[in-house]
Amino acid sequence: MRAITGRMSRPAARLLPPNGYRGAVARKSRNRVGAPARPRQAVSTAPSGPAQTGTAQLTAPAADADSATPQNKQTRPYPGQQLGLPEHGPGSVASMPRRVAALFIDWLLSMVIAYWLTHSQFWTIAVFAVESYVLTALGGSTVGKRLVGIRTVRVGGGPVGFGWALVRTAILLTVVPPLLTDRDLRGLHDRAASTVVVRI
């Protein structure tokens, strides 16, 4: 029996491969340890095409808002805009400080003339009225206005004339209406005579 068992066990041992199970395990372990690592693909963090497009669409309104700011500044209203006058320089509406300075000069000059003629200041307002009426009708500028560089013209151009100069001077002597100015710095005396005071 031992001889038979030994004979049967020998062929069974020969059927096994030379390496057997251990050889297969050894090959797998060598493949896992010795195999070169596969290079990892770099992950791109750059935004794709649609994302870039969306960013451009979001930033476009901000650029439009910045570019619209100068336009808003250029179109802001100013005195004389409705009358077609420039904002600055010759032909633009005269400022109130210049008008007050011209009125002060004309009043002082009228006081001097009244005192020289009558030795009294009682006739100052009469001299002032005559000076304003005549000089405004002829050239649009009194002595004071000429010195500060302003004059009175009709809206749309042209001289004031004696008729409208009379209306303007009569309202000017009432003092209060000329102080009620509109957005073009025209008092009631200028609106009644359709005139405007501009820079020379």
- Contact between residue 110 and residue 121 where contact means Cβ atoms under 8 Å apart: no
User: What are the pLDDT digits (tens) for 143-164?
Assistant: 999 999 999 999 988 889 999 9
**Whole-prediction pTM:** 0.61
The domains of the chain are located at 2-29, 96-199
Segment 126-130 shows an average pLDDT of: 96
- Measured over the CA atoms of residue 12, residue 14, residue 17 and residue 18, the dihedral's sign is positive
Largest CA distance in the chain: 172
* pLDDT tens figures, 160-191: 999 999 999 999 999 888 889 999 999 999 99
CA distance 134 to 35: 113
Instruction: List residues bridging with 152 in a β-sheet.
Output: 197
Residue 41 has pLDDT above 70, yes or no: no
3-state helix, strand, coil in the chain (%, to 5): 60, 5, 35
